[in-house]
Structure 1
Amino acid sequence: MLLPNPKLSTPSSKLLPHHSQNITGVASTSLEQNCKLSRRNLSKSSLLLLLGIQTTLTPLLDLSKAQADTISPQIDNNPTKCSDRVPTKKAYIDVSIAGEPIGRIIIGLYGDDVPAGTARFSSFVSGKAGISYRRKEFVKIMPGYVQHGGIRSYGVDAERATAASGTLQNLVEEWERGKRGEKCSEIKAGSVGIVVRDPLRPPPKTKIVARNGKLEVEEEEIAVGPNGTEFVITAVDSPELEESVLVIGKVLEGMEVVEKMREVKTVRDNTGSPYFRVAKVIGDKRAVVAERGFNRPYSKVVVTNCGLMELESESQ
């Protein structure tokens, strides 16, 4: 607080009447007393000021909350409802654990909602791609879902898969439509989806290489991204998979088979180790290799047979 300058603000006694001098003296004394506030008084004053501001803003905050409650149902009212999706195709997967058959999973595919994803999955289930999911393993058993390893990303199998079903871009576009709210992206219990991206994949590392006597900067990809052939089947609601999975269908029959798969013992997940986290951040390839083994079943969980089925409406 600025104190008044006596030389400027206090008039000379010769220029003011006697009673004016008394008033000025009293005012100066009062101002001096008011300015001599202790830290404790200042703290109390600040507290009272904050309480006053909170009291003033509380009605405004309550009004904003009421407005948000009024607006939110309109935002959540997505014209593309998950309950509106109707399966247009049916597929089946027979599963065995350690060579022992455990049953069949029947899947309804949303051909109208995700045509690219449905066509891609159907081509691998039916063998139309020249390669299928038959005799290939589930590579990850998580508490909430099971994940199939899909088709290899190299060699003749990968070439056949790409030639028959196209690139991954079509699936990514359908997945992005879900992120924008143009289609349903919820992953409920019993959902079947194709893995289109890896949200935990580290960014590419920049390195300097020598070519033809010149130094060039290029990016080295860490780990291998999904190729659009891996798929998951959820046993519980799994919203965390919305960042990586495109839902293409749901389990119509055989959830008890999925439960049996979840009971298989797996390799312990060590992602919580500080040593692993540091190695993953710096792009250590040993961490990438180790991560592939986490949650891997000790017993082989294999698709022994698979194919497409006719819908009841088609058979009639």
Structure 2
Amino acid sequence: MGSFDRRGVVRSALVVLALLPERGAGAAVTRRRLAALASAGVASLPLRTRATPAPAPSAAPARARVTQRAFVDVRIIESYTMSEVLENAALRGRLTLGLYGDDAPKQTTRFVQLLTGRRAGRPAEADSFPSLASASFERRRPPELLLSGPVPGVRELRLPESLGGGQQYEWNAQIVPLAPVFESVRLRHDRRGLLTHRIADGGTVFGITLAPAPQLDRDWAVFGEVLEGAEPLGLLAEIEALPFLTGEAAPDSATGRVGAAVYAAQRSAFMALTQAIGDTRADERVGRLLRRVEIVSTGLLPS
């Protein structure tokens, strides 16, 4: 039996003594015993204590396990002419990615296909699948999301109602399985650097969160994270700092300052470039980056 503080026991005896009723045989006997204990100052009663269990620590938020590692090599082109890229004005970097194969197995499988440009179990010479190595990062949804563009050459086909409707995707003159990926994913957009995709959209577009974005939880699904390159001074920050179309006039446009002229010149040059390469989706230009951010290489890394 553990030892007890003598003074504490005496003090407890005096408290109980004060609370007992003054009359009654049982009370009288108890009062005499407690008084003797208090006056003797000894802690010899066979006390039994029950330890109060400490409250269990609250469970930490569930974090997904990285099952595969991958990379995306990027080239940010700061300066170019209509005919050539000025390499000495280009910044190169790598995003190292972690994929959540346990929590988002279907989307992880799709993303691996896009990273490698082939489907598992098919010989390379017999397979044809779009590769993100020919895509780019094109848009920002400030403040929470950076979006890739579609892989060039992938064409969405709307089936007529007589054939059941719906959508299919064509690439290299053949139909490729790029339908929307529907699966239940419990993960939340609770931090920067998460890989995500819009649940109802098929195709090859994906996003990277730039900040916590709970507003995406309903329509988007997380399937991975940026392991390296999302640091405050990393590649993701370099892309995030690039100018983009806001769809609004420059703040000093009314004063005719130099800033307004620069904004107008950048906007005009960007519009001319997108028209030159056949991009006619004017309604989607808001948020477009005013620098070319090309994905030049992708693939898997050893686990």
Shorter-normalised TM-score: what interval? 0.5 to 0.7
1:191–1:251 CA contact under 8 A, matched in 2: yes
Q: Separation in 1 of the partners of 2:112 and 2:247?
A: 32
Q: Separation in 2 of the partners of 1:102 and 1:230?
A: 21
Q: 1:245 to 1:95 in 2, by over 3 A?
A: same
SS in 1 for 2:283: helix
Unmatched runs of 5 consecutive residues or more in structure 1? 1-76, 198-225, 271-287, 312-316
SS in 2 for 1:259: helix
Q: Are 2:110 and 1:120 equivalent residues in the alignment?
A: yes
TM-score when normalising by structure 1:
0.51
Equivalent in the alignment of 1:304: 296
TM-score when normalising by structure 2:
0.53
Q: Separation in 2 of the partners of 1:246 and 1:262?
A: 21
Q: Separation in 2 of the partners of 1:123 and 1:308?
A: 10
1:91–1:107 CA contact under 8 A, matched in 2: yes
Equivalent in the alignment of 1:247: 222
RMSD: 3.1
Q: Are 2:82 and 1:102 equivalent residues in the alignment?
A: no
Q: Give 1:1-316 correspondences, 5 Å limit.
A: 81-83=61-63, 85-98=64-77, 100-129=90-119, 130-142=129-141, 143-151=143-151, 153-154=154-155, 158-160=169-171, 165=177, 167-168=179-180, 171-172=181-182, 174=183, 177-178=184-185, 183-197=186-200, 226-255=201-230, 256-270=234-248, 289-311=281-303
Q: 1:165 to 1:310 in 2, by over 3 A?
A: farther
Q: Separation in 2 of the partners of 1:126 and 1:155?
A: 21
Q: Separation in 2 of the partners of 1:292 and 1:164?
A: 25
Q: Separation in 2 of the partners of 1:258 and 1:105?
A: 8
Equivalent in the alignment of 1:20: none
Superimposed CA distance per residue, residues 187-237 of structure 1 (whole angstroms, 9 cap, x where no aligned partner): 42110112223xxxxxxxxxxxxxxxxxxxxxxxxxxxx324211111211
Aligned length: 180
Q: Separation in 1 of the partners of 2:178 and 2:99?
A: 19
Unmatched runs of 5 consecutive residues or more in structure 2? 1-57, 78-84, 120-128, 158-167, 249-279
1:120–1:165 CA contact under 8 A, matched in 2: no
